């Protein structure tokens, strides 16, 4: 039993060494000064840039990188899974006990909803709307995507405007 306590103590003392987690950007991403879309931009990271994750807050992750330190949106990052694929031994394998799946990593993302006060204080952000326009697909792009994915056409009736 005393060996179990010693092992747990060693794991607890070693955990801060593994507190930072390496991740990569999945697209060009802005580093923000605070965890808000309208916060000042510190720097812009290119796709596949390596960052160290320091902490999480809602849908935001505090990172450090060669380009700067600050906050990025959680969904703009993917975890580094190469360490799990190369094989772990000793203490590292103990700390990875929660991992599962074919890649060796389980990822869970959750963001709380908006409060009533958040909704009352909400303001339009034209800059973010402009960014959103970059994700729009034209008819030709959508049809090509559907053909490439071998999707089938399905017709749906519109809902009546009065909600019935």
Q: What are 98-119's pLDDT values in tens digits?
A: 444 445 555 555 556 777 888 8
Q: Measuring CA to CA, which residue among 112, 117, 19, 131 is closest to residue 74?
A: 112
Q: Measuring CA to CA, which residue among 67, 80, 91, 76 is closest to residue 10?
A: 91
- What per-residue confidence (pLDDT) applies to 164? 59
- Tell me, which fold does domain 19-87+100-117 have in CATH? SH3 type barrels. (2.30.30)
- What per-residue confidence (pLDDT) applies to 9? 52
Binning pLDDT at 50, 70 and 90, where does residue 158 land? confident
pLDDT in tens, 17-60: 445 689 999 989 999 999 988 899 999 999 999 999 999 888 89
DSSP E strands in the chain: the ranges are 21-25, 29-32, 41-45, 50-57, 60-64, 69-73, 77-79
Q: How far is CA 45 from CA 63, 68, 141, in A?
A: 11, 9, 27
* Cβ 74 vs Cβ 61: under 8 Å: yes
């Amino acid at each position: 039993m005393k060996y179990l306590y010693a092992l747990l103590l060693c794991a607890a003392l070693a955990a801060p060494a593994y507190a930072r987690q390496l991740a990569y950007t999945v697209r060009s991403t802005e580093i923000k000064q605070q965890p808000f879309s309208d916060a000042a931009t510190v720097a812009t990271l290119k796709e596949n840039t390596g960052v160290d994750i320091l902490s999480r807050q809602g849908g935001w992750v505090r990172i450090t990188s060669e380009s700067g330190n600050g906050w990025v949106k959680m969904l703009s990052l993917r975890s580094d899974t190469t360490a799990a694929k190369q094989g772990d031994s000793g203490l590292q394998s103990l700390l990875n006990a929660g991992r599962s799946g074919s890649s060796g990593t389980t990822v869970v993302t959750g963001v709380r909803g908006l409060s009533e006060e958040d909704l009352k204080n909400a303001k339009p952000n034209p800059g973010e709307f402009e960014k959103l326009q970059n994700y729009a697909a034209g008819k030709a792009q959508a049809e090509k995507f559907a053909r490439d994915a071998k999707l089938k056409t399905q017709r749906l009736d519109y809902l009546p405007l009065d909600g019935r």
